[in-house]
Amino acid sequence: MIKLLIADDEDLLRGALAALLELEDDLTVAAEASTSTDAVRLARRHRPDIAVLDLEMPPADGLHAAERIRAELPTRIILVTRHARPGVLRRALAAGVSGFVPKTTPSARLAEIVRDVAAGRRYVDPDIAASALTENDCPLTARELEVLHASRKGASINEIAAEVHLASGTVRNYLSSAMAKMGASSRHAAAHRAWEEGWI
């Protein structure tokens, strides 16, 4: 029996997915979570074979939860996403994620992917893989990405500075540099484009 953790902030989708996967003879849903924080907590408690995580759930995303779970447990991770941004795929694979599928995947196909991942194989949706092959290399430094990530939450310069432990002037410099490299007219536009590319 393959023990699963299902995590998605949309209650209807999470419940439907759990119910459909429970219909499979060799799968059982040990826990359900609605946040990335709960996903990590429940993974520690139930030690599932596979965690099926929504990429876009709060407060941090599913990839953050995947990294924390993988650091502590042998649990394999399948990320499910509505927005298949190619840059995220590279980050997910680097974090040890075993599966990457769109939310349009039929439940019967997802059950097959769960079995493949449980057997030690990886699965990446072909369309996501194809777009990842044509993605642009990220021109931004790690610090520029860090301040853009904080900026995307709508934080002020001073709030970003406090979050990333830098002076406000240094944050402004990193944001200006990132905007220039991306040809963006504002830090919000730069952060949005970085998010769309999957860099943050």
Are residues 6 and 69 both part of a single domain? yes
DSSP 165: T
pTM of this structure: 0.71
Distances from the Cα of 6 to the Cα of 21, 40, 43, 168, angstroms: 10, 11, 10, 40
Q: 125 is in which domain, residue-wise? A: 2-133
User: Mind listing the pLDDT tens digit for each residue in 69-106?
Assistant: 999 999 999 999 877 666 778 788 888 999 999 888 99
Burial class (CB in 10 A: 0-12, 13-18, 19+), 72: exposed
Tally of structural domains, the chain: 2
Are residues 68 and 150 both part of a single domain? no
Are residues 125 and 153 both part of a single domain? no
Q: Answer yes or no: are the C-beta atoms of 140 and 194 closer than 8 Å.
A: yes
Are residues 30 and 92 both part of a single domain? yes
User: Mind listing the pLDDT tens digit for each residue in 13-56?
Assistant: 999 999 999 999 999 999 999 999 999 999 999 999 999 999 98
